[in-house]
Amino acid sequence: MEQMLSGWLDDIYKATIYKDRWLVYLEGLGNTLLITVCALVIGILIGLTVALLRVWCGPGKNGLQKLVGKVCSLYTTIIRGTPVIVQLLILYTVALASADGLVVCIVGFGINSGAYLAEGARSGIGSVDPGQMEAGRSLGLSYGVTMRRIVLPQAVKNILPALFNEFIALLKETSIAGYIAVRDLTKAADGVRGITFNSVPLYLAALVYLGLVIAITAVQKRVERRLAQSDRN
């Protein structure tokens, strides 16, 4: 038992402290968080825009609105229907071949995230009573002002679960960034594993991912409680 424990401690030492290998994990974690946050911001902007356009281009609209609606629907269908790694490889080798791998990851994950957030945002907006829009228009407010000041604030609490779920999914999806030569947390851990010939680096990476997911989930619950309290008040 003591020999096994000693072996584990030696593996942990070699995978972290020896030759300051913990700095490799730190660099990978920094890239992972940078990609996740930046891609989420891009995804929110794309997703909200697409969702609003699809709501605006609902049934009974004119030719231009129908065309815009079909383009938005095609975007979500293509992005959601193809693997994100394939999308990254296409961007890395064709569309953004001259760009840095980190930029490709941010753009690629942002575009992918936007398609999923668009559906969540559209569902959240659709959950608001249509009478809210009618009430705003009857008061003389324009469609845009009514959507921004009346409908969207009510839709936020329904969109938040999808947003946090996408945040968590995006965080874990960044683990494939190594396919296009970006040293994220997973790539960093795998590099150390290749040097030390033990699996401790992968366990450490898994624990970091788990800790981040638990932290994000805790923030989500806190925000949802605040929104529930504000509704009661």
pLDDT, tens digit (0-9, with 9 covering 90-100), for 41-63: 999 999 999 998 888 876 656 77
Which tokens is 154 given? 């009510």
**pLDDT beyond 80 at 95:** no
Pair 101, 88: CB distance under 8 Å: no
Mean pLDDT of 186-212: 92
- Residue whose entry in the numeric block shows the structure tokens 């829009």: 133
- Alpha-carbon separation of residue 129 from 19, 61, 86, 126 (angstroms): 61, 20, 39, 8
Ranges 4-13, 117-126, 128-137, most confident: 117-126
Q: What is the mean pLDDT of the chain?
A: 88
**End-to-end CA separation in angstroms for the chain:** 58
The amino acid that residue 225 corresponds to is R
Q: Which of 215 and 197 is assigned the larger pLDDT?
A: 215
Distance separating alpha carbons of residues 91 and 98, to the nearest angstrom: 10
Domain 23-232 has CATH 1.10.3720.10: yes
Instruction: State the pLDDT confidence band at 106, using cuts at 50, 70 and 90.
Output: very high
What contacts 216, CB < 8 A, 6 or more positions away? 164, 167, 168, 171
The amino acid that residue 68 corresponds to is V
Distance separating alpha carbons of residues 160 and 58, to the nearest angstrom: 23
pLDDT of residue 231: 66
Q: Which pTM value belongs to this model?
A: 0.89
**pLDDT beyond 80 at 138:** yes
- Alpha-carbon separation of residue 93 from 74, 99, 100, 102 (angstroms): 23, 10, 11, 14
Mean pLDDT of 207-227: 92
Maximum distance among all alpha carbons in the chain? Answer: 79
Residue in 139, 129, 120, 126 with CA at minimum distance from that of residue 48: 120
Q: Which range (81-90, 119-128, 209-218) has the least confidence?
A: 119-128
pLDDT of residue 232: 66
Q: What percent of the chain has pLDDT over 90?
A: 48
pLDDT in tens, 158-172: 888 889 999 999 999
pLDDT of residue 89: 92
**pLDDT beyond 80 at 75:** yes
